Amino acid sequence: MRVKNPKAVFQEIHDAAAGRRASVEKQAVPTVHLGMATCGIAAGALETKKAFEEAILERGIAAVVHPVGCNGHCYAEPVVVIDHPDSGFPPILYPNVSPGKAKMLVKLFLEEGDPRFEHILGATVENEMIPWVMEFSRFSKETRIVTRLCGQIDPESIDEYILKDGYASLARALEMEPADIRQEIKASGLRGRGGAGFPTGEKWELAAQADGGDKILICNADEGDPGAYMDRTILESNPHQVIEGMAICALAVGAEKGIVYVRAEYPLAVDIVGKAICQARETGLLGDCILGSALHFDIEVFQGSGAFVCGEETALIQSIEGARGMPVYRPPFPVESGLYGLPTVINNVKTLTTVPPIIEKGAEWFRGIGTPGSPGTTVFSVVGEVVHPGLVEISMGVTLRTLIFDICGGIPNQKKFKAVQIGGPSGGCLPEEFLDTPIDFDSLNEAGAMMGSGGMVVMDEDSCVVDVSRYFLDFTQNESCGKCTFCRIGTRHLLDILSRITKGEGSREDLSCLKDLSRAVSEGSLCGLGRTAPNPVMTSLKYFEDEYLAHVDHKKCPGTTCRDLTAFYIDLETCARGCDVCVGCCPVDAIFTTRTRKKGIDQQLCVKCGECKVVCPPEYDAVKRISPAEGVPVVERLDKE
Amino acid sequence: MDQNDNIDETKMLRDIEGRLGVFGRERGSLIPILQMIQEKYQYLPKGALEIVGRHLEIPSAEVFGVATFYNQFRFHPPGRHPIKVCLGTACHVRGGDIILENFERKLEIKEGETTPDQEFSIEKVACIGCCALAPVALLGETVHGGMAPSKVEGLVLRIEVEKEMRQRAGKKEQDG
């Protein structure tokens, strides 16, 4: 049935792309690579881009601005790499490039050849003049498979992806038998990256054997965890690797229709994926007779409307069918009877993105990365109290300590590490003794947390685990679809109890009630949302019981976070006479001047926003926060009438 | 004023009805249709839900049921300057709720409401994915990172000042 040799057709496409790129690159001018994903834009990349373009035009320099995706270094956004071959310097990475800095770099580096060493983070290749970024652990300890091209190529250019050997794996897969592709994925030990870790090869095998009409492949990019954004970054930075992975999967299971289910809250990702699909179609990499073979496969985008539960596959299917996204009982599993009753394979973005490298380099290579039980890499978005937050791709089995302290730079401001919350609303809170736990599906499950979505929040001594548990319960309670009684009402009561505790109104009975109710919610719920919703409470109760007891018994919040249990006051010893900074910033005019012309806080008016503590000059550092609130020294207000 | 609103609404509904033609009548079109309406008008007018129900031949209660299930859909028009406060995990840890509270206090409305002059509306959103800038708020489409209570004051004040300047300029033009 095969008309042409896919590899030969691919070679033609590759050569054509190379020809087009060569005419662009022939000019050999300095290039400014600028990270333009959502996070970069939020940090001001659009203004920076404009500044670069204006300055280049103004000075009449031959240079181009090349938009790329996100490289995961959120702390350094907007990130710019300037490749100026004539200057004699290697490509240099500059962090936090404001419009002013952009104009300065155009003048001093592009025009005059001075790279301004004080602004450099590092060089992107090894050289003798400037430290290579791979000498820093933030770069060197990562293992990039899924995000290997993120931040390096223009996501809107299929040519750039093809020239990085993109779609070569698809050409290779087209020369394999579908059963061999499935065998390769099975042999690689790849597990679903959506959180639960179901073996991908097995899922594909089940789908391939299912009968009952045309098969459908869904790429699940309904990233709902309020603190994880790796799926979005992948779609925005390298959409073609996702499409390639989908095409290979379609070939392996025999699907002709694919859907990318992406959140409508990610407008840039929706836009970029849509464009990428069109480009792939025009290039003959999607549609009929892909690369001259008998494979027919096309993809459309469906925008999810923002319901956390739709990350669950049966709920996701319900929402595509136009219903409320409520999970349904399995079996039948979607691979047997899914969307409109057709066999449906649902894989996470990261799972599908991992597929092309496996086909390219083989299952053996993939098994060599990570742990025997969880081969490969995983992407975490590390946020909270770390020096270098952002997206990090590590091989499975790396310890939490390496991730938090070596890669992300540890805790800022000389604070102590308290806990790390892994897996978002379904995950758990782990204390210091788990820092040497390797990160993989099984070890995290054993510890009571879970891989989940890959969100990771690092907390220092000033955070409160009770408050974080309450936060996640607030989220799951809101997102519970309401189908199962235990989830619908149970999470509400869990939240009420936790709110009571954070207000200092909790009792010891509440703690035992939390434990019982958590177990009940977990056992009495149908889908993953309800079953894992109590995880944040259960793990924090297990590992941080003393914090709960402090809240309940002494009305004290050890992390001085819970607002009802803390109070601000101004230390009259260190407060400076005549300094009015705090008075000016207080949003509720709670700060007054005492008889000694120092300041005091009116506890009745104070809303505990902490602004005064932030603005108080560090040489005085006079604003203090204490818990319990009753311990606050009383300063009489005289100006009140 | 009321009459004007009515005319606008009729016009709006007629426009929405005209746009339904490209969508199929199967149930699967429901969410894409609702998304189209919201994209166009920033909210789902009550009358539109009935029109959509008629188009898909399902009760408008069904349409309402689906629309209310998802966080994306809004049933009131947002203000001219919609404010979205991120309450994702990173923003929560860094005090996002305090930012929300300051907006609420400053504008004297609660989350989910619009000011009587239709100038501002406040919404909370779960993670807009720039956690390194936490706490974050969106004013229109612009992201403001590293928010603080005093920055809330500044942002609101700036918009009010700009509005006043526009009004004065308009008045001058009229006078001159």
Choose among B32, B65, B98: nearest Cβ to A610: B98
pLDDT of B3 > 70? The answer is no
| Mean predicted confidence (pLDDT) in A594-604 | 91
Instruction: With CB atoms and an 8 Å threshold, state whether A609 touches B134.
Output: no
Q: Which chain A positions have a beta carbon within 8 Å of B128's beta carbon?
A: 38, 42, 265
Of A109, A34, A96, nearest in space to A66 by CA: A34
pLDDT of A426 > 70? The answer is yes
What is the number of alpha carbons within 13 Å of residue A448 lying toward its C-beta? 17
Assess B32–A contact: CB distance below 8 Å, yes or no. yes
What is the number of alpha carbons within 13 Å of residue A394 lying toward its C-beta? 26
Choose among B105, B126, B130: nearest Cβ to A587: B105
pLDDT of res. A352: 97
Assess B131–A contact: CB distance below 8 Å, yes or no. yes
pLDDT of res. A639: 62
Of A189, A154, A214, A233, nearest in space to A441 by CA: A189
pLDDT of res. A236: 95
Of A295, A284, A440, A225, nearest in space to A1 by CA: A295
pLDDT of res. A600: 93
Choose among B73, B101, B150: nearest Cβ to A305: B73
pLDDT of A304 > 60? The answer is yes
Assess B31–A contact: CB distance below 8 Å, yes or no. yes
Q: How confident is the model at residue A213 (pLDDT cuts 50, 70, 90)?
A: confident
Assess A454–B contact: CB distance below 8 Å, yes or no. no
Assess A46–B contact: CB distance below 8 Å, yes or no. no
pLDDT in tens, A68-80: 999 889 889 899 9
Six token digits for residue B75? 């049933």
Length of chain B in terms of residues written: 176
> Strand, coil or helix: what is A568?
strand
Q: How confident is the model at residue A151 (pLDDT cuts 50, 70, 90)?
A: very high
**How close A75 comes to chain B (CA, Å)?**
6
pTM for this model (two decimals): 0.93
Assess A422–B contact: CB distance below 8 Å, yes or no. no
pLDDT of B2 > 60? The answer is no
pLDDT of A2 > 60? The answer is no
Q: Which chain A positions have a beta carbon within 8 Å of B103's beta carbon?
A: none
**Stronger pLDDT, B3 or A52, i.e. the higher one:** A52
Six token digits for residue A166? 């993109």
**How close B12 comes to chain A (CA, Å)?**
23
Average pLDDT value for chain A: 92
pLDDT of res. A641: 45
First to last CA, chain A: 93
Cβ contacts from A onto B, under 8 A: 143
- Of chain B, the percentage scoring pLDDT greater than 70 comes to 95
| Mean predicted confidence (pLDDT) in B72-81 | 91
Chain centroid offset of residue A515 CA? 30
- Of chain A, the percentage scoring pLDDT greater than 70 comes to 98
Assess A79–B contact: CB distance below 8 Å, yes or no. no
Q: How confident is the model at residue B175 (pLDDT cuts 50, 70, 90)?
A: confident
Rg (CA), chain A: 27
Q: How confident is the model at residue B143 (pLDDT cuts 50, 70, 90)?
A: confident
